[in-house]
């Protein structure tokens, strides 16, 4: 992978992490880079039927973990 390809790949992963992944009460939120469960670091209050959480991936070798990128998750109460 060239430096330019790596930069594009990292930018896409950061974009996914910032835009939000699904949150499951049963399984939590998965890191968009490595697919492993991410640790909750902050939970916001419910706004209507939606709750936002922020996570960090703690998996060694994961790109988002290495750059210390937070991961946003969205839970919807159905």
Residue-range domain boundaries for the chain: 3-76
Mean of pLDDT values over 50-69: 97
Task: Yes or no: say if 70 and 41 are a contact pair by the CB < 8 Å rule.
Answer: yes
Q: Does residue 4 come out as left (phi exceeding 0), alpha (psi in the -120 to 50 range) or beta?
A: alpha
DSSP 36: S
Q: If you average pLDDT over every residue of the chain, what do you get?
A: 96
- Helix or strand (DSSP H, E) at 6: helix 3-19
- The residue-averaged pLDDT of 41-55 equals 97
CA 78 to CA 64: how far, in whole Å? 30
pLDDT over 80 (residue 33): yes
pTM: 0.91
Task: Specify the pLDDT at position 61.
Answer: 95
- Count of beta carbons in the 10 Å neighbourhood of residue 20: 16
Residue 78: pLDDT over 80: no
Look at residue 1 in the predicted model and tell me its pLDDT: 82
């Amino acid at each position: 992978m060239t430096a330019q390809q790596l930069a594009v790949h990292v930018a896409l992963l950061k974009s996914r992490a910032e835009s939000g992944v699904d949150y499951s009460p049963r399984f939590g939120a998965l890191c968009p880079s490595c697919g492993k469960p991410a640790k909750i670091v902050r939970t916001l209050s419910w706004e209507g039927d939606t709750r936002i959480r922020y996570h960090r991936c703690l998996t060694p070798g994961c790109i988002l973990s290495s750059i210390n990128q937070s991961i946003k998750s969205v839970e919807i109460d159905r």
